[in-house]
Amino acid sequence: MTLFYLSAQAVAADTEKIAQRDLSGQIRSAQSALSNIAAPAVVYVGEIHDQLSYHLNQLAVIMALRERGLNVAIGMEMIQTPFQRHLDDYIAGHIDFVTMLERTEYFTRWRYDARLYQPIFQYAKEHRLPLIALNAPRELTERVSAAGIEGLNRDERSTLPNELTPLAPEYRTLLEKVFSEHDKSDDMDIERFIEVQQTWDETMAKTSAEFLRDHSNHVLVVLAGVQHVAHGYGIPSRVENYAGLQGTVILSKNEQNETSDGADVFLDLVDTSLAKSGRMGVFIKTAPSGAVIDGFAEGSPAKEAGVEEQDTIVEVNGRSVKRFEDIKLALWDKVPGDPVLLAVQRNKYTRLEMSFDLY
């Protein structure tokens, strides 16, 4: 396995600079390291979901491949397979970014700050790069967690390959380590945890292989968590099994293990992060009546503006609110100091509007 160590250029952390694609140094390095890539091919770029620097590396790889004249598609762990049509609509320009987040149920099914992924989505839309929803629907993984793969009914089982790829002993060891650090509050045992991981891996690999089978003139860049791609154990071994393509695994230097064999390409990480997101300082519970105020954080600007416990939020910045996720959609790109107009229903007859700045 040949290793390349890519030098990253300093990249400004703010969203405006990211949108301007200030990644020229990373792109040049990636183009050099990936100069032998030709369609059909698959490139896996691992991420730590809540770290902007990993997503900038992913964007740099996508840009490097496209600027070489290759047809690039982007496979996305963070979007589940039933929502593919909404990614298609977004790329076609039929819906905007926030509508895409809403229709893919992003804040219910994934939840990480959407600003982390927005530059990738924006770049894909600007250049009409196909976005592929890779991941298993949450309903399936919840069933696997509860009943195991053997407990799936015929329809549920049909969404997975007939023959599952055997779990490499080294991958099992890795997953056992991950499980040991896992929150045990859900009472999941180790075998069910591993089967859920397999369900994710098998679904993402099957979806990737199907796309490559139908689009042999493309390079598919798979964006997924580090544990799904490192050492080729998770998604890559399964795609190779289904499609006969040995992919290129790209990680960032923090993921090097003692033998430095976890990837084909290693990228340096840029020391950068997102600006703090803007908050109202409220605790929300979703009730039949909607998004109900259940308490306040210290220094809450909403409380200072007159919001009270048991108020039901009905609108944020003109967006109708029925549940907590609607608030996330209304505030997804807001930072401290941004103004917000909040409408609440206090009782059957009283609707109030309040304006304040996020903190």
Model pTM?
0.90
DSSP calls for 16-64: HHHHTT--HHHHHHHHHHTTT--SSEEEEEEE-TT-HHHHHHHHHHHHH
Domains detected in the chain: 4-267 (3.40.50.11550), 282-357 (2.30.42.10)
Percent above pLDDT 70 for the chain: 91
* Alpha-carbon span 125 to 93, nearest angstrom: 8
Percent of the chain with pLDDT over 90: 77
CB 66 within 8 Å of CB 127: yes
Span 137-152, pLDDT tens digits: 999 999 999 999 999 9
- How confident is the prediction for the chain on average, in pLDDT? 90
| Amino acid identity, position 43 | V
* Segment 84-135, tens digit of pLDDT: 999 999 999 999 999 999 999 999 999 899 999 999 999 999 999 999 999 9
Q: Is the pLDDT of residue 348 over 50?
A: yes
Report the pLDDT averaged over residues 55-66.
94
Higher pLDDT: 27 or 82? It is 82
